[in-house]
Amino acid sequence: MQGSLEDKEQKLQERLERLNALEEEILKKEKSLKEKEKAKKQMLLRLSPSLWDEIAAWAEEDFRSINGQVEYLLTECVRHHRRSG
């Protein structure tokens, strides 16, 4: 019976080590993603006042900033283009 407890403890220790390794890997990936997000490119975009107002209203409905809304719309357009192309 004693050997059984030691075996279980060893298996649990091995699981803990694997979980710690996975957690470390996840944290590295999260850090990498955050760094990529910070590296976003900036661009100047000129919009008509009426288009600006429409996007601003839409952004407010979606609880986004205007910049976030423009980025969301562009991302969706690119996804649509990839699927249809």
Q: How far is CA 4 from the centre of its chain?
A: 44
Task: Indicate yes or no: pTM above 0.75.
Answer: no
Same domain? 30 vs 63? no
Question: Of 48, 49, 68, 71, which Cα lies nearest the Cα of 60?
Answer: 68
Enter the tokens of residue 15.
């699981």
Residues 50 and 17 in one domain: no
* 46 and 36 assigned to the same domain: no
Contact (CB, 8 A) for 2 and 8: no
CA–CA distance, 85 with 80 (Å, rounded to integer): 8
Nearest CA among 71, 78, 79 for reference residue 37: 71
Same domain, 27 and 46: no
Structural domain span for residue 18: 1-40
Specify the number of domains making up the chain.
Answer: 2
pLDDT tens-place values along the chain, 85 residues long: 567 888 999 999 999 999 999 999 999 999 988 888 788 888 999 999 999 999 999 999 999 999 999 999 999 999 999 999 7
